[in-house]
Amino acid sequence: MEKQSKKSIFINPLIKENAILINLLGMCPVLGVTTSINNALGMGVAVILVLFCTNTFISLIRKWVPDEVRIPVFIVIIACFVTMIEYLMKAFTPDLASNLGLFIPMITVNCIILGRAEAFASKNTVVDSMLDGLGTGIGFLGSCLLLAFFREVLGTGGISFNNPFTGKQLFSFLPLEAIKMPIFVQTSGAFMMFGLILGVFFAIQLKIEESKKLKEKKAKENLAKEVK
């Protein structure tokens, strides 16, 4: 594996190798949590913190972990960090914690975190792992917010945002409330919207690749003409 530059380690997981939209990992909490932008934001921030902490710690101890117990040790570390975050959330953001419910402890078994720990953090330096954790987490947050935006706008008619620490409503802007379709804040609408977003995402990617290929072809032809 060639060494990647620090910038590409951070930028890659954002869009090109997005954990949810390209690698399709860890989709279960995404579908359950994106009923509103509040919940998506809370979940995304929690995942960023967990990824950052676990990646750092695992790459710190990577030289001393015996091979036989590698995966159980990783899981214990992830579970401890997730429990810490869960208690912090229950204490300081109780409304958000009760909305997210079971999905916070479920971060432990999210494929993204164990995948990043196994594939990246246990083989790279601390700084690289930190950047990778941040990048993956921000990519996760971005796709969660995208899905939550569409689901909430179609499902409740607009966006309403609460202060996570106190639970008070900061603002609510509901332009489309007359034609709201509550199916999109339920599970079947989650699958439909997720599928549509994936389809649009792949279509955009295909178009970008096609235009790139066209450009390369044209550059080759021009080169061939010049040579002649």
Q: Is residue 69 near other proteins by the rule CB under 8 A? A: yes
* CB of 62 or CB of 142, closer to other proteins: 62
Question: Please, which residues have CB within 8 angstroms of residue 169's CB and are 6 or more apart in sequence?
Answer: 160, 161, 162, 163
Q: At closest approach, how far in Å is the CB of 213 from other proteins?
A: 19
Please report how close the Cβ of residue 73 comes to other proteins at its closest, in angstroms.
6
Q: Using CB under 8 A, which of 188, 224, 227, 228 touches other proteins? A: 188
Distance CA 147, CA 138 (A): 14
Rg (CA), the chain: 21
Other Cβ atoms less than 10 A from the Cβ of 70: the count is 15
Smallest gap from residue 36 Cβ to other proteins (A): 17
Q: Are 36 and 152 in contact (CB under 8 A)?
A: yes
Pairwise CA distance, residues 14 & 100, whole Å: 24
Q: Does residue 207 belong to the site contacting other proteins (CB under 8 A)?
A: no
Note whether 204 binds other proteins by CB under 8 A.
no
| 14/62 with CB nearer other proteins | 62
Give the phi and the psi of residue 174 in degrees, each rounded to 5: -120, 75
> What is residue 159's three-state secondary structure?
strand
Asked if 94 is part of the footprint of other proteins (rule: CB under 8 A), the reply reads yes
The smaller minimum CB distance to other proteins, of residues 26 and 164, is found at 164
- Name the helix (H) or strand (E) containing 190: helix 187-227
* Per CB under 8 A, 64 contacts other proteins: yes
Residues contributing to the site for other proteins (CB under 8 A):
61, 64-66, 68-69, 73, 76-77, 80, 83-84, 87-88, 90-92, 94, 179-183, 186, 188, 192
